[in-house]
Chains A and B, each alone.
Chain A
Amino acid sequence: MSSERGRIRITGFDADAVERREPLSDWTENRAGETEGRWERGWREFRQNRSAMLGLYVVAAMALLAVFARPITVAGVTVQPFALAPYRPDAILYVQGLDVSAYEAPSLAHPFGTDGSARDVFSRVLYGGRFSLSIGFIVVFVTAAIGLVYGAVAGYYGGWVDEVMMRVLDLIFAFPGLLLALIIVAVLGKGYWELVLAFTAIGWAGYARLIRGEILKVKENEYVTAAKALGARDRRVIFRHVVPNAVAPLIVQASLSIGTVVIGVAALGFLGLGLPPGSAEWGTMLDQTRETIVQGPGGTIPWWVTVFPGGAIFLFVMSMNLIGDGINDALDAQEGEDVARGGEV
């Protein structure tokens, strides 16, 4: 009969018998709400990890200090009026009429001392977080997003698509990362977005390779086959069923990479290829004070101009590593060793 065609009919199934029999597990409808999601479990475990939480507090504190270091104005409107830093980061204090000279040692008025241009190092370190932190997070977000899509497509489709895409990756991996970033900055010039581009251009490759590997595993699962069998489009299968189950290592990698990017930015800054001289970016600050490391015979080194920005880089990268390790443990993402630690370039 034509009206019955295509309908699935089950015969011989006794629904009453199923309801009457002994339960196969202790699951009941009332207990359904007690199930703990993977992310909730992860967060709970993360919170129990003291060192990771310490890292999180430090990063949060640094981020807050950076945001509230100086007022933020958008299109002429002050959206953030607070100023924890007593001076503008680029303010040469004797130009402002203050009786301050270069390389003044830390004091109450200038807790981190002054640098070679008589600028307040405390204000600069606080403000400098804006550069390092924001570049770190932006680069990692963008590279992770690109790598996720790239790796997912390669891993899911496999075959010649995977082959071609992976060879492109091999090409990118053949370049020393920092050197390529250096070339990009040398060609495009110094600047914030130039740095972002320099680190993005190569940074996504690691994520792509990582996610592809995960996806090769995940896509063999029955629920993927089921989704395909039910006629879901590839895009839906990839981003609703495959990626969410393969993303944990990517998050770990991303959290650890923020430190790597910050170190890379600082390294370029130290080589004089980061932000313009005078910027309060931590690596650039170190570059500006490089000459103070060697003094004339018998001269004293103004340690504060290197220790504080250097300490800020150390503290941030260290904290990000602790967070990354914490996430790794919480998501139980890695048994292997193929996730780079922050600071490894």
Chain B
Amino acid sequence: MSRNAAPTEPSTVSRRRVLQSAGAAGLAALAGCNTGSDGGGADSGTGDLDPVRERVEVDVDEIQTGGTVRFGLGAGIDSFDPSYSTSAPAGNAHGLVYESIITQDAAGTVYPWLARTWERMEVQDIDRSAYEPYMKSAETDENGTLVADEQIIIRDPDGGQVLTVEEAPDAVADGTYGMRYRAELHEGVTFHNGEEMTAEHVARSYEVVENSSISAQTFDSFLYAEAVDDYTVDIYGQVPDAEADNQLPTTVYPMEHIEEYPDTGADPRNDRTPIGTGPFTFESYETGERAQFSSFDDYWLDDLGLDALEWWDGADGFPTSPVVDEVVVSIVTDNATRAAALNNGEIDLTYGLASDTYGEYRSAEDFRLSVTDAGAYNFLQYPVTVSPWDDERVRRGVNQLLPRAAIAENIYNGYRNPAYVPLPEMAADEGSADYDALVEELRPQTEQDTEAATSLLREAVDDLGVETPIEATIETNTSSDRVREAELVAQVLSNTEFFEIGVETFEFTTLVQRILGPEYYQQGKIVLIGLSGTFNPGSFYDAVNSIDNFGQCCNFQRVDTPELDEIATEARYSVEAVEDPAFRGQRYDEIWRGLIEQAPNSYTVFGTNVSSLSTEYVGHNTYTFASEILPYGLHAPTDEQVAYLDRR
């Protein structure tokens, strides 16, 4: 396929070639642990550049099979079901068990996976108002938001109507849809419970996502899916969507899950075992301690062979699945304890250790560091509905007080780069017409400038008549680097006459539960946390700014920027956006400018993912997103990535 294809022509993603668009690794999620880079800036974020630094390659003849790889995870697993998880670290467990009809390499290129082919068949120039005839009236909650029992796909606040999953099939039957994709599935894919995967499984898997933790991020694009025959499924998008390639597919669940599991998803603590098609089956989980997985004997790719992947042109003899027999995910939230476990040989790899240990792992003989530019940033989200934070001059003033360079240099030891714009470089190709020019333009508004900030704050404080110092608390998670970052920000702000800022810390999952609470936005707290986005530039806007993500990842403070939402919609949901990457870039540039102007969030530093590992674990490279470091490292034919244990 190409972006220049006519909207009505079928498009396909096949063969190993580079798409100009970057794809989603998954959905935006909160990042609780450190990521870092080796200090250098990323090259441009084009999809053809490998974000993995110093990629390690293995000789297929030297690969050893068997053994148990032990992975140290720095956060608890909030859910074993990807549809009910908002935690990026938990994705490392999901990726072992569950798969989707597509996969993406480290640069974001989309490849069919459980699907033999994944093609765009049609694009129609419609907008969401086209669904009005199919909508039904709905009630509003106390916040004035339209609500319904069924998953809402489209809201029409003016008409008090919604389109839910119940009405979507009628619209599709009448030819009302924005896009149609077709997936032809591999035959012979079996779930861990013995079910054979069919088109019906793919079509009905969306039922699991309905009203789940990630529903907003799925149903902003997805309309309907239906099985054409046993191995062909059509997936419809609501409107033309430039990110549909990777946004429409979802995790594929077995019927046992779709029909019998409760609305809270798979949960081994309640005998709802995670069942997928992935190379590992779930074995056991000791709550908050460890999860164990063993290789799935009937893994589909072992049976079909890599040649079943039409795009495969890698080395002969490359393994068809991970070569290790077992995976143990040990949950060790304390960085020092995890480092000790790695030093003592209790685990083979981990990521997100304190950045002052990186140099030592890099230079040690028995250990190594694997660094990848990440699709992530740390951000402060202000209580935008609470005075005086509801005044954008206050937020912009704070934005200009933030010591981004000092955070990157002093706290992350140069392993991170200052975030002068709201978009990481790895998503820059689609997300900006000219990233360097954008940085140059916005940097004067985001670089520390105490004088400019003071003048803004003085004006705001005088106008509002608020008493200074304004007292507030930054809440963050107990990662040492994150706490130091919060303390530094608090001190820089408190050094001015305007603020008296404290810091409060919580364990990551506790913090997430807290800030996702429906009343949290009224408490007047500032949140400092990390966002792990996707390959799509929109993910760095939507997750933290779109009102649809309020109460989900990652709009905790009821941020509402309707005019930017409109531009974001155009940058993603239009035929021009689907066809013309330059158009997208220009529209996104407007969004980034608007975000700096309104400053509901301040972006402090961009991340890179850093794995620290034993040299006994050979061939590991770190993925672009913290959510898939373990599964990607074990086996990813898209990048000819495989890792094995050599315990000689």
Contacts and interface: CB of A to CB of B under 8 A. Distances in A.
Contacts of B356: 102-103, 116
A276 interface: yes
A102 B491 contact: no
B309 interface: no
Nearest to A278: B487
A296 B504 contact: no
Contacts of A298: 360, 363-364
A101 B366 CA distance: 29
Contacts of A299: 357, 360
Interface string B483-518: 110011011100100000011110000000000000
A190 interface: yes
A31 B491 CA distance: 67
Interface stretch (A89-97, A175-183, A250-258): A89-97
A290 B339 CA distance: 12
Contacts of A278: 483, 487, 490, 503
A67 B354 CA distance: 35
A95 B336 contact: no
A95 B360 contact: no
Given A116-B484, A277-B503, A299-B357, A293 B336 contact: yes
A117 B357 contact: no
A293 B343 CA distance: 13
A92 B488 contact: yes
B5 to A, nearest CB: 50
Contact of A294 (B336, B406, B410, B504): B336
Given A117-B484, A117-B487, A277-B505, A291 B361 contact: no
Interface in B309-360: 334-337, 339-340, 343, 353-354, 356-360
B367 interface: yes
B586 interface: no
B357 A295 contact: yes
A321 interface: no
A92 B485 CA distance: 11
Contact of A296 (B357, B410, B505): B357
A90 B357 CA distance: 24
A272 interface: yes
Interface in B352-409: 353-354, 356-361, 363-367, 403, 406
A288 B504 CA distance: 13
Given A103-B356, A276-B502, A277-B487, A297 B336 contact: no
A288 B354 CA distance: 12
A276 B483 CA distance: 11
Contact of A92 (B354, B358, B491, B504): B491
B273 interface: no
Contacts of B502: 276
Contact of B334 (A118, A290, A292, A297): A290
A299 B483 CA distance: 22
A292 B335 CA distance: 10
B534 to A, nearest CB: 30
Interface in A175-195: 189-190
Nearest to A115: B484
A136 B374 CA distance: 47
Nearest to A299: B360
Interface string B442-484: 0000000000000000000000000000000000001010011
Contacts of A297: 343, 360-361, 364-367
Contacts of B492: 95
B612 interface: yes
Nearest to B341: A294
B337 A294 contact: yes
Interface string A291-316: 11111111100000000000000000
A245 to B, nearest CB: 48
A277 B506 CA distance: 10
Interface in B94-148: none
Interface string A314-332: 0000000000000000000
A95 B502 CA distance: 17
Contact of B406 (A94, A103, A288): A94
Given A190-B504, A296-B367, A291 B336 contact: yes
Contacts of B487: 90, 92, 117, 277-278
A95 B361 contact: no
Given A92-B491, A278-B503, A296 B336 contact: no
Centre residue among A290, A291, A299 by max chain B CB count within 10 A: A291
Interface in A114-142: 116-118
A116 to B, nearest CB: 6
Nearest to B337: A294
A95 B488 contact: yes
Given A292-B336, A294-B337, A296-B359, A95 B364 contact: no
Contacts of B358: 296
A103 B354 CA distance: 14
B337 A95 contact: no
Contacts of B361: 296-297
A272 B406 CA distance: 26
Given A116-B480, A277-B487, A296-B367, A291 B335 contact: yes
Nearest to B353: A296
Centre residue among B337, B339, B340, B363 by max chain A CB count within 10 A: B339
A295 B504 contact: no
Contact of A288 (B334, B343, B353, B483): B483
Contacts of A294: 336-337, 339-340, 343
Contacts of A296: 339, 343, 353, 357-361, 364, 367, 612
B481 to A, nearest CB: 9
B44 to A, nearest CB: 32
B449 to A, nearest CB: 15
A250 B489 CA distance: 47
Contacts of B490: 278
Nearest to B366: A297
A296 B339 CA distance: 7
Contacts of B363: 298
B480 A276 contact: no
A103 B357 CA distance: 13
Nearest to A296: B360
B292 to A, nearest CB: 25
B480 A291 contact: yes
Contacts of B353: 296
A183 to B, nearest CB: 15
A23 to B, nearest CB: 73
In the A-B complex, list the 9 residue pairs whose CB atoms are closest, starting with the nearest. Answer: A296-B360, A297-B364, A296-B357, A291-B336, A294-B336, A294-B340, A299-B360, A278-B487, A296-B361
Given A296-B361, A297-B343, A297-B365, 4 more contacts: A95-B488, A291-B334, A292-B336, A294-B340
16 contacts: A90-B487, A94-B406, A95-B406, A95-B491, A95-B492, A102-B356, A116-B356, A117-B484, A288-B480, A291-B354, A294-B337, A294-B340, A296-B357, A296-B359, A297-B366, A297-B367
